[in-house]
């Protein structure tokens, strides 16, 4: 299955054969699962639906000038695209609200509560960006866990480090992000 996925990915990137159609069929369910996972943190009345998130992320992946190496790399980038779509959508909604109705929530709440406000998603995105300036790998690990839904083993494969290092860096990154969000609200 992994070899078939990689072959279709290469066909899709080179514009050969029916790689895009076959790849689309192969990855749609998994991308939709990732989208639902990302959307579970959003508010219940969110105007963006998982299917629209998948479609927008897939279009952005098609337009990206990236050489996908394998399945994990593809899903890692798909998760990043979904993050960008959600953040762009939240920024647009915040512009429309002109900053009104901001709700302050801790990072622990975002992981367990079913509804994440647009403002919190933007705060999380800003905190991830600040973490990336300090430690790119830790920010990447958290992004891949949260938005791409990759396991520690899959992240280790994508980044080229051990699973234990992924787990250790993820703990640090969650604590750092939590502190940043708390400081933003104090």
Mean pLDDT of 85-91: 84
Find out whether 32 and 54 touch, Cβ atoms under 8 Å. Answer: yes
Q: Is 116 a residue whose pLDDT tops 60?
A: no
Distances (CA, A) of 144 to 154, 157, 158: 9, 12, 10
Residue with tokens 């901001």: 102
* pLDDT digit string, tens, across residues 23-74: 777 778 788 887 877 776 666 666 778 888 888 887 888 777 777 777 888 8
The vertex-165 CA angle with 159 and 167, nearest 5°, equals: 100
* Mean pLDDT confidence for 88-100: 69
On average, the pLDDT of the chain sits at 79
* pLDDT (average), residues 103-128: 61
Using left for φ > 0, alpha for ψ between -120 and 50, and beta otherwise, residue 90 falls in: alpha
Reported pTM: 0.66
Whether residue 13 has pLDDT greater than 80: no
Token reading at 72: 């994990």
Using one digit for the tens of pLDDT, what is the confidence trace for 141-150? 998 888 888 8
- Whether pLDDT at 179 is above 90: yes
d(C-alpha 120, C-alpha 101), whole Å: 11
């Amino acid at each position: 299955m992994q070899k078939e996925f990689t072959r279709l990915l290469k066909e899709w990137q080179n514009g050969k054969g029916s790689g895009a159609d076959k790849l689309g069929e192969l990855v749609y369910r998994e991308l939709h699962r990732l989208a639902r996972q990302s959307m579970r943190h959003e508010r219940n009345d969110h105007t963006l639906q998982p299917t629209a998130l998948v479609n927008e992320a897939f279009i952005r992946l098609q337009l990206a000038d990236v050489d996908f190496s394998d399945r994990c790399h593809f899903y890692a980038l798909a998760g990043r695209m979904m993050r960008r779509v959600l953040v762009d959508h939240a920024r647009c909604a915040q512009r429309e609200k002109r900053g009104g109705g901001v709700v302050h929530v801790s990072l622990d709440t975002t992981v367990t509560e079913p509804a994440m406000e647009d403002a919190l998603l933007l705060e999380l995105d800003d905190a991830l960006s600040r973490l990336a300036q300090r430690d790119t790998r830790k920010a990447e690990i958290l992004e891949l866990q949260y938005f791409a839904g990759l396991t520690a083993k899959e992240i280790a494969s994508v980044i080229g480090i051990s699973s234990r290092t992924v787990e250790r860096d993820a703990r640090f990154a969650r604590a750092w992000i939590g502190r940043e969000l708390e400081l933003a609200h104090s």
